Amino acid sequence: MPSLPPAPARHALRGRAITFGANPFLDDPARALVHEPDALILIEDGHITRFGAFDALHDTLPPDTPVTTWHDGIISAGFVDTHVHYPQLPMIAAYGEQLLEWLERYTFPTEARFADADYAAGVARRFLRELLRAGTTSAAVYCTVHPQSVDAFFTESARLNTRMIAGKVLMDRNAPANLRDTPQGGYDASLALIERWHQHGRQLYAVTPRFAATSTEEQLDLAGSLLRQREGLFMQTHLSENLAEVEWISHLFPRRTSYLDVYAHAGLVGPRSVLGHGVHVDEDTFHTCHAAGCALAHCPTSNLFLGSGAFRLFDALDPRRPVRVGLGTDVGAGTSLSQLQTLNEAYKVAQSTGRRLHPAQAFWLATAGGAHALYLDDRIGTIAPGMEADLCVLDPHATPLMAQRAEQCETIEDLLFVLMMLGDDRSVRATYVAGQLVHDRDAPEAAGARGAGHITSFT
Ligand SMILES: [Zn+2]
């Protein structure tokens, strides 16, 4: 990352801002969306301490507080990506296969390179830089089977002070020998990583069996006991992504009543469990997810890319038994790290199931909903006093096409819809992590430089 100047312990941002006061899948979306056309956000020691209309708050600011004004930008909570594989960044956009063949042909050879700690460190740096360029400030991240891939990721995340969840992949069968661990070896390595990284600063650990086909029952049981070793651990894996995979799991685990039951039987399904995809699931599975408090990660660009199927978002979120759902990019099967691009495809997938994803619902999924899915909504995902100051500044005029379209928007909902349909990393003007400016689109490499699109004044 370019070394941008450290922000003072107390500073403020001014500009148009959006956040959420309620869940727009349970309440009227237009009312759940909080839109402040001229907002002031006071940041102290990495946390938001005041948020409201500039006119109302301006006179209350402590003297000499520097104020950065974002003209024409929209300040939002940073995006939350609930499912992504950092080691797959080098193989994004690999041609021609569906899930199981894609894993064999592209994924496993790529992941084998992470035995080399220096290679892992280089990819981790590139990956986190790309996330911040996309406005994403938190993610649930798969590493590889190699413990050094986890050390590489958390080392870089700790340096950036990003709030990240990650873990070592557990895989003791149905994978090449150089990517397999053993039940006990995987347990021991994971426990050492948990001790090193879980709740180290903003870092959080996820026990990470890749999916039921690549772990024996013994390994899944040990993963369940790992989860009970420390408070606040996460669990991430894949569930019912592709029909051939679902069929394979039913043969591998004939005594289990469903794919989800394989994980539940091992003690892996509960709060802070994040299951990627859930494309081919029935009502019983949605009901179990609701009752258990686990989350599904909706990964539309990946599901379309691999031809996996259409996630039934509105069925999952049925107000009678809502399942926690976050948005995932699932790179490298996903085709973009941008949550704006991911929302573009989520909108189309919802359309294909006969439902309409309101822009307020979409942006909620990418921010507050993702934080809720991860049980982190008391820290990230909204702009409010007490929250960690992870923010992005969106630019609805990022391209000539967007600018001419944005000019015709009469409401904030229209403008957000333009951003999610036409936007990508070019539309992320800036990103803040714990109050620090970590990405400035218009001054990406100029250490110490202030971008031209905003001015700093002092109260
Ligand atoms: Zn995945």
pLDDT, one tens digit per residue, over 269-307 is 999 999 999 999 999 999 999 999 999 999 999 999 999
pLDDT of residue 233: 98
Tokens of 98: 């569906």
CA 278 / ligand 1 centre spacing (Å): 11
pLDDT confidence band for 96 (50 / 70 / 90): confident
Q: What is the pLDDT of residue 278?
A: 97
Handedness of CA 250, 256, 257, 260 (dihedral sign): negative
The rounded Å distance from CA 147 to ligand 1 centre is: 19
DSSP 6-37: PPPSEEEEEEEEEEESS-TTTS-HHHHEEEEE
Measure 149 CA to ligand 1 centroid, in angstroms: 16
The band of 446, judged by pLDDT with boundaries at 50, 70 and 90, is: very low
Q: Supply 182's token pair.
A: 């053993």
Question: 437: CA distance to ligand 1 center in Å?
Answer: 29
Q: Could you tell me the distance, in angstroms and rounded to a whole number, from the CA of residue 12 to the centre of ligand 1? A: 37
**Å from CA of 342 to ligand 1 middle:** 14
Encoded tokens for 183: 């039940």
The answer to whether 13 touches 49, Cβ cutoff 8 Å, is: no
DSSP notation for 163-177: EEEEEPEE--SSS-G
Average pLDDT, the chain: 94
Q: What confidence tier does 68 reach under pLDDT thresholds 50, 70, 90?
A: very high
Please, where in the chain does CATH 3.20.20.140 lie?
79-337
Distance 357 CA to ligand 1 centre (A): 23
**What is the structure's pLDDT at 8?**
82
**Does residue 459 register a pLDDT over 60?**
no
Residue indicated by tokens 């995932």: 328
Q: What is the DSSP letter of 4?
A: P
220 with 209: CB under 8 angstroms? Answer: yes
Q: How far is the CA of 141 from the centre of ligand 1 (A)?
A: 9
> Around ion ligand 1, which residues have CB less than 5 A away?
276, 330
> Whole-prediction pTM value?
0.96
Asked whether the beta carbons of 14 and 69 are under 8 A apart, the reply is yes
Ligand 1 centroid to residue 229 C-alpha, Å: 25
Interatomic CA distance for residues 261 and 271, integer angstroms: 16
Q: In CATH terms, is domain 79-337 a member of 3.30.465.10?
A: no
Average pLDDT over residues 3-10: 74
Predicted local distance difference test score (pLDDT) of residue 457: 66
Confidence bin at 67 (pLDDT 50/70/90): very high
pLDDT of residue 298: 98
**CA of 34 relative to ligand 1 center, distance in Å:** 32
Say how many Å lie between the CA of residue 330 and the centre of ligand 1.
5
* Ramachandran sector of residue 395 (left: φ over 0; alpha: ψ -120 to 50; beta: rest): beta
**Ligand 1 centre from 297 Cα, in Å?**
9
Q: Is the pLDDT of residue 182 over 90?
A: yes
DSSP states of 80-116: EEEEEEGGGGGGSS--S--HHHHIIIIIHHHHHGGGS
- Reading the block at residue 381, the tokens are 């995902």
Q: Cα of 412 to ligand 1 centre, how many Å?
A: 33
Mean predicted confidence (pLDDT) in 7-30: 95
Q: Can you tell me the distance from the alpha carbon of 111 to that of 438, in angstroms, rounded to the nearest whole number?
A: 28
Which tokens hold the place of 310? 């259409």
As a whole number of angstroms, the distance between CA 8 and CA 12 comes to 10
Question: pLDDT tens across 201-259, in order?
Answer: 999 999 999 999 999 999 999 999 999 999 999 999 999 999 999 999 999 999 999 99
pLDDT band at 197 (very low <50, low <70, confident <90, very high): very high
- Report pLDDT for 444: 74
Q: 415 C-alpha vs ligand 1 centroid, how far in Å? A: 31
Range(s) for CATH 2.30.40.10 in the chain? 10-78+382-440
Q: How far is the CA of 15 from the centre of ligand 1 (A)?
A: 36
Q: Determine the distance separating the centroid of ligand 1 and the alpha carbon of 238, expressed in angstroms.
A: 6
Nearby residues of 267 by Cβ (< 8 Å), 6 or more positions away: 221, 224, 225, 227, 228
Indicate the CATH number of 10-78+382-440 among 2.40.128.130, 3.40.50.300, 2.30.40.10, 3.40.50.10860: 2.30.40.10
Cβ contacts of residue 256 below 8 Å, gap of 6+?
A: 262, 265
Q: Is the peptide bond before 135 cis (omega within 30 degrees of 0)?
A: no
User: Does the CA dihedral 324-367-351-349 come out positive or negative?
Assistant: negative
| Ligand 1 geometric centre to CA of 230 (Å) | 25
